[in-house]
Structure 1
Amino acid sequence: MNRFRHLQTIPDGPFRFIAIDVETANKSNASICQIGLCFVNVRNQLQTFSTLVNPEGPFDPFNTQIHGITSDMVTQAPNFADAYGALYAVLEDNHLARHSRFDERAFEAACARYEMSMVTSHWTNSVQVARKAWPEFKGAGGHGLAHLKKVLGLEFHHHDAGEDARASATVILLAEERMRAPLPHLKVERQLTFQFN
């Protein structure tokens, strides 16, 4: 499933930060069935990546109704261990962002399930960033992606992991514009590995 033309390989850095979103197959946070990443480079240009993940477990009809992913769609997809293993280095070497704690908790749960180390990167919550930039939304629709999409004029397909990751990154960039300053911790400082031909 790649309706939104997300990249299938990791783009070249360096990156200011990477926004992350996941979709899950059922009520278990560990049942990740899609990982979406939005890479924000030093010029604040966005590139999205998405991969389906085989959760090696059942799909609840409720979850499928939300994101449209079915068990048939993930039969050839990597399981979390393989997908996460392929992404680990770039996630470990960059600042990460997510909209609410759900996505980070899902990674923690899936890492525990597969007995893998959780990345130690710094996580930024774009909900908290939005609260600082637009305090007037408190009690007036809130700071969820659905409301921010409406009031900020964001264009994305909600509940596709790549699209939601892009929305989270965009919220941070728009908040920086509104506050007239970049978030000081979202800067290129951790990528110290270079490849030479």
Structure 2
Amino acid sequence: MISPRPFRMNIFPSGPFRFLALDVETANYRAHSICQIGIAAVRPDNTIETWTTLIDPEDDFVANNIAIHGIRPEAVVGAPRFAQAFRQLSPVLSRHLIFQHSSFDSRCFAAAAERAYLDPPEWTWSDSVTLARRVWPELKGAGGGHGLGNLKKALGLQFRHHDAGEDARAAAEVVLRAEAHTGLDFTALIKPPRRLSAVR
């Protein structure tokens, strides 16, 4: 039997932030089985601070998911449960726009909150996949399209895929690269495509 080890959740960095990007990894195919949360916080000068924590999913790990992210059951022994992380993060997440790379992460947060008998998070989400499709339409269908793996190659991003903190930082960098490429603020880029006539 594995004895619980002391585990102190990292303190979230203090703002101000322009926006956040969030990513999760799961223990199995069930959306509520979050085993890692990563958040990238983008400051006004566009520097990025990354926060990450392991989560005890209170659920089984399956081999397919372990093969993707490398997190094993023993790694989360003594780690906080989702409810603890949710309560720490909610005050910050509720005040900022949160980018996710596809809708997977918000679905997981909603499912985990429901399972923990928490009110569903009423946060403002945006999708960096949708943003990337608008800014780099030429990548559609090209060796992975607008997934992080292909954007890593196309944009020259440096990160370790399927680590929640690294993937969150990569999603934030996609947004920053899109701003630099178009000369537009992210608030303009997430509006309907007809507003993007200035995109080069």
- 2:164 maps to which residue? 161
Question: Does the 8 A contact of 2:94 with 2:124 survive in 1?
Answer: no
TM-score by length of 1: 0.88
The Cα of 1:40 is off from its aligned counterpart by: 0.4
- 1:147 maps to which residue? 150
- 2:178 maps to which residue? 175
- 1:20 maps to which residue? 22
- Equivalenced residues, count: 180
Q: Secondary structure at the match of 1:85?
A: helix
Question: Does the 8 A contact of 1:36 with 1:161 survive in 2?
Answer: yes
Question: Does the 8 A contact of 2:97 with 2:123 survive in 1?
Answer: yes
TM-score by length of 2: 0.87
Report % sequence identity. 49
The Cα of 1:84 is off from its aligned counterpart by: 1.0
Q: Secondary structure at the match of 2:18?
A: strand
**Poorly superposed stretches of 4+, deviation over 6 Å:** none
- 2:193 maps to which residue? none
Q: Which of 127, 130, 138 does residue 128 from structure 1 map onto? A: 130
The Cα of 1:8 is off from its aligned counterpart by: 2.5
- 2:68 maps to which residue? 66
What is the CA–CA distance in structure 1 between the aligned matches of 2:120 and 2:20, rounded to whole Å? 16
Question: Does the 8 A contact of 2:22 with 2:39 survive in 1?
Answer: yes
What is the CA–CA distance in structure 1 between the aligned matches of 2:37 and 2:46, rounded to whole Å? 21
What is the CA–CA distance in structure 2 between the aligned matches of 1:36 and 1:162, rounded to whole Å? 4
Gaps (5+ residues) in structure 1? 1-6, 187-197
Question: Does the 8 A contact of 1:37 with 1:166 survive in 2?
Answer: yes
- 1:57 maps to which residue? 59
What is the CA–CA distance in structure 1 between the aligned matches of 2:62 and 2:37, rounded to whole Å? 18
- 1:108 maps to which residue? 110
Q: Deviations over 1:79-107 (max 9, x none)?
A: 11111111111111111110000001000
The Cα of 1:183 is off from its aligned counterpart by: 1.8
Amino acid across the alignment from 1:50:
T
